[in-house]
Structure 1
């Protein structure tokens, strides 16, 4: 591989990329270049000497579609680089990538061999299985739909709305039978409805629909009175711990904590000796004791032991709520419906995301013959972000990595084939437990692979962050990440890239804590407002260039809003910070869940739809009138109410309204009336089209703070309507009800995909969304916020511990014994994951990281600030100190003063015009607008470089050849350009001319005589060109692009310059532009003709330089007939 400077873990990288006789496990820390490693591995699989693979026999799986796209793009780029590497003018390969010299030296291939294999792979790239595991699962199901039990043309229900509708219809139909006169389970239903409401039971049935839930296994475990071996062993360990603590702290006169500890030990003993049934005999006084508040640990108790008692009490209290008999009855009643609704949804031609993975796993597990075929078809498996992959996906990978000829019935018994499986992951970045990622399962698979002889490679060289950032990261997490089996991995310190250059003047990490300037204790919300205001001021200073951290005054990078990321644990914490950004005029874009349905423009559009659909909905109409569309203040609304004029179909009442708003509202009422009359007669998407045509919603959105994003969100509502239009039962009123329900429920829905990378705006996102991204400046905000725990369960929870097979159910006040076990394990993992989340957030910064928080009178448990205090070994109490020490690393520390009051934004008051000059002023403004409009209308919106060509002088035609009958010169020139667009300058000329298809190149309707004449003339032009010096020059060049289109702002942004560049090439490492000319001009007058095109050349050079960001060495006009090149 190409490496300008040897990096510390280079040997591990090369071993990981080139080891094929063993499976490989790569533990890649943050920013260590794992995508480059994966692409290198792919290239070596394609190019290795022994058993080189076709790209179609490789599966590369990623966690997100974005990661898959990036991998494809990088692989395409590297394959293209290898294809072009035979040219001596090819660009040198990038550092760390596979070069053609490396392949020649490593495997003994010739350049032609490498180019041939790279070309074949490049052509097959779009057919390669490089994507998410969900997309790969869909591919498997389409290969074997009958065996998988799906329809061959199934579709994926990406947002779950299809299943929601299906479930609602099936539930109503099933319930009508169950509770009707013909129902067979009335006695059990009466029993269940004494404990739970019908809505609660419906919620449980919905929660059970996922194909990843083993319904029969859950029912079986729920019906067992005896403890399974795994559950028994777990509670035995809890009992032994309780007795150990009691023996350590017990005294003749027991305190409350010792009394409660003894009750816990007795409860666990009762369970272990008598089973679940014995819990009913547990004494009431002991139950009451365990229900008490544990309080603070008394003198003599260590914090660790006290935390263990707290855990044991939590387990004991949950254990006393176990009622598996009731839950078993409930599952028995619901199981037939759950099986039916799963099956009928699949039969209707749809699959959920869980269904894709679940059915793919079942296909591989239950059909050994198919599994064997796929194992032979796919000879290499690469899995990225393995720590974020859920256990069911692990099973799919393991089944495909099984040794050929073996057919294990369970994933636990699989014998892995050597050299087939390559996984990349970092357990320190495992933060997706809410998506079923399981660090215990990750450890199990990695340990299993290593026991079977897999090679383990650890990457620690970080190519992302500044040395001062990494010093703090290492210092913090050497303390916070303490190895604990199946719960927490150890920290592996990151190493800075050798010879890394600084891009900002002030790099490193800074802790900023905000305290009240009044010296009063403030609550959490006031503390958040103080911190948000300080962040707004900091960004205004940094982005305004008045802070040296912004990179001005000689730094390598000029900091822009797009270089800044504002990260939160949860996006629901961000609103005060967004208000501060708005106050300071800082543009931002939000990337996160649960935001689309909170956007004001979306809410306003839904209210408008409500009003159009139902004229009697006064609240909806009032909302429309108060929105930017109506623009009414509250006082005007009151006047309309008094006039009883809140009905847009009755405009007569407004005639008596003496208000400057009367005429605009009357016109708005007229439009709403027309829309109401037409809405019921047109398809759903057309209703949105009519609204956008009749009302200036898009224009108002464009003029709002979020401009393009607001417009895109409105158009997304229209796309949603179009996507739902094929449902015959969904009318306008049904769509309105659906949108209103989503506004209430706030489901996960991203804003319309406006390209954030093109917006120069601060990125606001959660740490989860930021994973895999990097920014020059990262502000990790709200360190004082908690994680939102302790608010109680919002619905049924179905538990499954993959490693042990234990399942459980929490429903209302009832739990199963398996739920007690798995929930407590999940709690411990959640607390460990909080530390890893902090790690991911801190490793997003390239140059500067700001840790920001506020100090309130009552700190919140579970805050990241609490972890920082643990790492520092001291309380962060607002005392002034320049630095704090973190494992020997000094962290700059700043205390900022703030006010808990909401700052008011200073507004420039508009000039108040005197009444007699209002009409004159308005007329003047409209005249100015008309003038600007006429000026814009007088200019074409799109111009071409050819518009700037000077009309050439009348050149002598004394030496010009006689032209044969044929086509016009412009058409002939177009045909020559089309031919040269695919011309191979390195190949023989005559075979390419012989293969020329004049009919395909030119316009239709040419007779044979014209075609023959055109063919002769084109052939003569090309032959003359091929014998020229410019042609020989192009033989040696590396072609970058042909017929390259471009768009460029022009005339101060009032116009767009649009053109097409004939040829872009690189020669001797320099960038050149060529433009073909087929002008019939004598050789001695070519230079004069080229001079007429000089301005065109200047525009082309400017477009290329601005697009590629590098200087253009030269521009040449190639006059093909004359074989002459004129550089300008």
Structure 2
């Protein structure tokens, strides 16, 4: 009988008879999740598994880096012990094969899968991920292109379709800024459309209400009610209300809006709608019994109102789908299809939702991708499994299924997660997948291991966590119906490592108006903030060598809190929320104004700003005018780039200042780092530089810092702190649904079932289907909120403080309400909080616990003598000479005149040339291209345009047509081939329009012909010869590149210029030049 092998077994020699077990670990917070992953990885290595056959993945680069670091540390530690030779050998193997390891994020793994078969996935060009700024710019370009394309073509059908879709999508909710609304829709709905592009699911009545019967028409129902009601039997105010009601109902089909009186009449306070048909008291200002006929008529009108309003929202939903269909077509053609991706695209591409078509074609692509990945990895380790989304699981599950069902039982899957830490449901993380794996994999070499013993928190913190969550399921279900099947909690215990620690945990309620001090007006003083300041002053964590974190829910709260603590405590405070670091200080703002002036010489605001900075004296001394300064900086940027220019001006700024502090120096360094990164793109666009710089956000790294940390609960996940303070526990109820304006009904596993523009709650309450969907959303939101509370409480090691304050309007169903219900059974006791009135609603441990930890005296390090040495830049230049980058397209010997350069016609000609090149690049060979013109039309090109006609005429020209005809299988073509080549003369970087290569049939090249398309309009033979001579330097660079790329001698590489306007090829002999 085969022996069962698990990572929990003691290390042993490899055995061919071992059965490799799969494992699912339910790891509560602080119970050693990372340790379990590291041990599993090492356990596999010890059994002879090659490290590159193991795929270990998590969701963040930080967690992946920590995982890899812990593996190396553990191997190094084992290597120092007796008989540690094997560990040292494994450490050497890991380091040597570092570049081949799959230790990273799921997104990085998906990117590697995408790059396996980019063309099969419908991608062209170099595949890469866009940053946030690039994505925003790409999205704007798509919208601009869409608007231009539909307004320029003669066929107005697409424009009419967009206009009608816009009218429908905004019906009843008219917009006075359509461009902004359209951009917002595209940003908000694009990913949802990719996930569900089935138009029938966007407002599809038969999908949402499959059993619903046709309702009454609104106007006939209203007429019947008016004929039955005798208004004179009501008092005057009621009569007026009825008349307003009749008017608003009559105009409802036109306006699409619920008037105030309609909402008043539909309010459940008026009476139970179900009882109307039996006759009932109708609560207005005075009760008045409605007859059964009157009640039935009113019920019919109310039902018809619901139907009419829902029709408006159905109309909006369908229209939004049509708009997204148009947007997605342009986006795929202009952005994604060219290899410019965002993280969200990866899973959709690999699951067949984008790019590769459908049916047998996609199945063959999917099989090829899965085969390559499956053949590469035998063991799969996934961290934070509860955060996996349905679309990610759709890609990963076939690979994991192959491993877990391995017939030889030599492959394995290892999953670690905790449903109680599911705080990313808003990113479509689906905890139901965890349940699915747990149930469907049961018994198939699967071990399920719960980890509830904390190695992080002291007994006092664990006691507070247990008191709140242990056996709380009935309470939570009563507060938030539907949460019961999602939330489960087992008692936490302290390990021996932390069982002897002594700390404190408390729920503190603060009253009064807070501590009011001079200067606090701009630092967010309020009772909660005052309590946080008082606690930190009392504990004095930094001087005691303790880490301290203030955890909040929102990024804005984190920024305000960090500014407040920094101002009032006078200590280093690090905010781990992203901050726009280049616009929060005077120094970088001055340099950005300098760049602004360079591209906009008449910008008086930028000039006045510079005139108020320390640079003003120098500018006045040199008598530099705005125009002169603008021209000078603009010229320097054009020649050298942004980094050298800003570095020089930053030094001049320092020289003009008496002193700079550490904060200013850090910000100047960050500006220069940003400029260096921008220069890498090769762009000299100052407007683009400024736009990106002003939006450039960074998160300050707190690793090793002696500082108070302020961060959101989401950013704190996976971290621990000696002291944790929770001041943001009040506000909206945990089950408040506010994030989206759509109903997105999902299956238990997260797949989209239907989508509907969300109506008002009064309409939702009147429809059973929508009400059930709202309750499902509320249960998930409440579950996510409870998970967030659990995560925040379990970050603490020694002390945990939950703080609430008096609020005139507060919900009893938020985090504070839940804590008070679970912890507030004892009598409050006074709690010393400086000048604040505070009560302790619950506590455990010693309030003076921190007094047992001595304060550390400040360490004064001797100042080191500064010696001037060679600068790093000079040393690097001595070792590595700078390579001058050259582009063949810039090598023409002729130059444009200033008049030609500034001419509006030049841009028209440039766009014409780009389109001709793009259309010709879509024809690798005429034999395999099919209907070329139809293919151009599918890509969005106007067949009646001058560019399309010119490209088509080029393909029909017999002297050119031969270069687009393969003829035999021994010909190859490079189309729009990018290249970078370092030669003795520098770095050549360019794109070859088309190269036709003859092969010997065995993979070797025998000759090559460079085809370079030129859309110049030449009037006579003399002008043609002049142009040919001007392009010779460019062709020489192409000639040299093709020689190197194809491994051919110079005589075997020909060059032909093709002038598309005259359809004339011109051979250029470069070997004699």
Question: Is TM-score (shorter-chain normalized) higher than 0.5?
Answer: yes
TM-score relative to the length of structure 1: 0.57
In 2, Cα distance between equivalents of 1:706 and 1:811:
47
Find the aligned partners of 1:479 and 1:712 in 2 and give their Cα distance: 53
Q: Paired residue for 1:676, among 622, 625, 630?
A: 630
Question: CA, structure 1 residues 569+17, in 2 after alignment: closer, same or farther (shift >3 Å)?
Answer: farther
**Aligned counterpart, 2:822:** 871
Does the 8 Å contact 1:63/1:385 carry over to 2? yes
Evaluate the alpha carbon distance shift between residue 872 and residue 83 of structure 1 in structure 2; reply closer, same or farther with a 3 A threshold: closer
How far off its partner does 1:762 sit?
1.3
**SS of 1:148 mapped into structure 2:** coil
1:921-1070 equivalent positions in 2, closer than 5 A:
940=867
Q: Write the mapping of 1:894-913 to structure 2, written as runs, cut at 5 A.
A: none
Given the alignment, which residue of 522, 525, 540 partners 2:537? 540
Pairing 1:690–2:638 present: no
**1:572: how far off?**
0.8
Between the aligned partners of 1:295 and 1:721, the Cα distance in structure 2 is 63
For residues 3-402 of structure 1, the aligned pairs below 5 Å read: 14=8, 21-48=20-47, 52-83=48-79, 85=81, 119-151=92-124, 153-159=126-132, 161-180=133-152, 181-195=154-168, 196=170, 197-210=178-191, 213-217=194-198, 219-222=199-202, 224-227=204-207, 288=263, 292=267, 320=310, 323-362=313-352, 367-402=366-401
Question: 1:766, CA displacement in angstroms?
Answer: 0.7
Aligned to 2:1040: none
- Tell me the SS of whatever aligns to 2:718: coil
State which of 691, 698, 701 in structure 2 corresponds to 1:750.
698
Give the corresponding residue for 2:689. Answer: 735
Equivalence map 1:786-825=2 (5 Å): 786=732, 801=747, 803=749, 805-809=751-755, 824-825=775-776
Partner of 1:587: 572
Give the equivalent residue in structure 2 for 1:610. 596
Structure 1 Cα separation of the partners of residues 802 and 813 of structure 2: 16
- Say whether residues 1:443 and 2:439 are aligned partners: no
Q: Does 1:512 align with 2:508?
A: yes
Residue aligned with 2:809, SS: coil
1:418 deviation in Å?
Answer: 9.1
Summarize the Cα distance change of 1:799–1:735 in structure 2 as closer, same or farther, 3 Å threshold: farther
Cα offsets for 1:449-477 (capped at 9, x unmatched): 33756321000111111111111111112
Do the aligned residues in 2 keep the contact of 1:39 with 1:74 (CA within 8 Å)?
A: yes
| 1:425-464 equivalences in 2 (<5 Å) | 425-450=417-442, 454-464=446-456
For residue 215 of structure 2, what is the aligned residue in structure 1? none
Q: Which residue of 1 aligns with 2:969?
A: none
Gap change, CA 1:338 and 1:873, over 3 Å in 2: same
Following the alignment from structure 2 to structure 1, what is the Cα–Cα distance between the partners of residues 771 and 669?
A: 46
Q: 2:799 aligns with which of 839, 844, 848?
A: 848
Question: Counterparts of 2:743 and 2:585 in 1: how far apart (Å)?
Answer: 33
Deviation at 1:152, TM superposition (A): 7.3
What is the rounded CA distance, in whole Å, between the counterparts of 1:62 and 1:667 in structure 2? 58
Match of 2:493 among 492, 495, 499: 495
* Offset, 1:136: 0.6
What do residues 380-435 of structure 1 show as CA deviations (whole Å, max 9, x unaligned)? Answer: 111001112222112222111123799xxxxxxx9998962211001111101222
- Superposition RMSD on alpha carbons, in Å? 5.0
Q: 1:1072 — aligned with what?
A: none
Deviation at 1:680, TM superposition (A): 1.9
User: Do 1:528 and 1:854's aligned partners in 2 also have CA atoms closer than 8 Å?
Assistant: no
In 2 relative to 1, CA 333–612 (structure 1 residues): closer, same or farther, beyond 3 Å? closer
Deviation at 1:499, TM superposition (A): 4.7
Asked if 1:566 is matched to 2:550, the reply is yes
Contact kept in structure 1, 2:379 and 2:403, CA below 8 Å: no
Measured after TM superposition, the shift of residue 490 of structure 1 is 1.4
The structure-2 alpha-carbon separation of the partners of 1:116 and 1:860, relative to structure 1 and needing over 3 Å to count, comes to same
Q: Could you tell me which residue of structure 2 aligns to residue 645 of structure 1?
A: none
Contact 2:386 2:417 in 1 (8 A): yes
SS at match of 2:470: helix
For 1:316 and 1:891, how far apart are their aligned partners in 2? 57
Distance in 2 between residues matched to 1:21 and 1:599, nearest whole Å: 56
- Deviations for 1:652-679, whole angstroms, at most 9, x for unmatched residues? xxxxxxxxxxx57835984977642222
Aligned partners of 2:11, 2:127: CA distance in 1, in Å?
A: 37
Relative to structure 1, the CA distance from residue 446 to residue 512 in structure 2 (aligned partners, 3 Å threshold; closer, same or farther) is same
Say whether residues 1:718 and 2:675 are aligned partners.
yes
In the TM superposition, residue 281 of structure 1 has moved relative to its aligned partner by 14
- Hey, what's the Cα distance between the residues in 1 that align with 2:24 and 2:404? 24
Q: Contact (CA 8 Å) 1:402, 1:415: kept in 2 or not?
A: no
1-side partners of 2:258 and 2:805: how far apart? 47
Q: Does 1:835 align with 2:786?
A: yes
Judge conservation of contact 2:507–2:840 (CA < 8 Å) in 1. no
Alpha-carbon offset, residue 701 of structure 1: 12
Q: Deviations over 1:554-608 (max 9, x none)?
A: xxxx624x72212111121135432243132111111113554763355555445
Residues 202-225 of structure 1 deviation map (CA, whole Å, 9 limit, x = unaligned): 4333444439823433x1323743
Structure 1 residues 839, 891: closer, same or farther in 2, change over 3 A?
farther
Unaligned runs of 5+ in 1: 1-10, 91-110, 234-277, 298-312, 407-413, 544-549, 552-557, 631-647, 649-662, 895-934, 944-1128
Q: Which moved more, 1:129-138 or 1:116-125?
A: 116-125
Contact 2:467 2:823 in 1 (8 A): no
Gap change, CA 1:518 and 1:61, over 3 Å in 2: closer
Offset at residue 849 of structure 1 (A):
1.8
The more displaced of 128-137 and 574-583 is 574-583
What is the alpha-carbon distance in structure 1 between the residues aligned to residue 204 and residue 572 of structure 2?
59
1:455/1:774 Cα in 2 relative to 1: closer, same or farther (>3 Å)?
same
Task: Return the alpha-carbon distance in structure 2 between the equivalents of residues 156 and 693 of structure 1.
Answer: 32
Residue deviations 1:821-874, cap 9 Å, x none?
A: 666533321122111111111111111222233323333566432221122246
SS at match of 1:513: strand
- State the TM-score, normalized to the length of structure 2: 0.60
User: 2:529 aligns to what SS in structure 1?
Assistant: helix
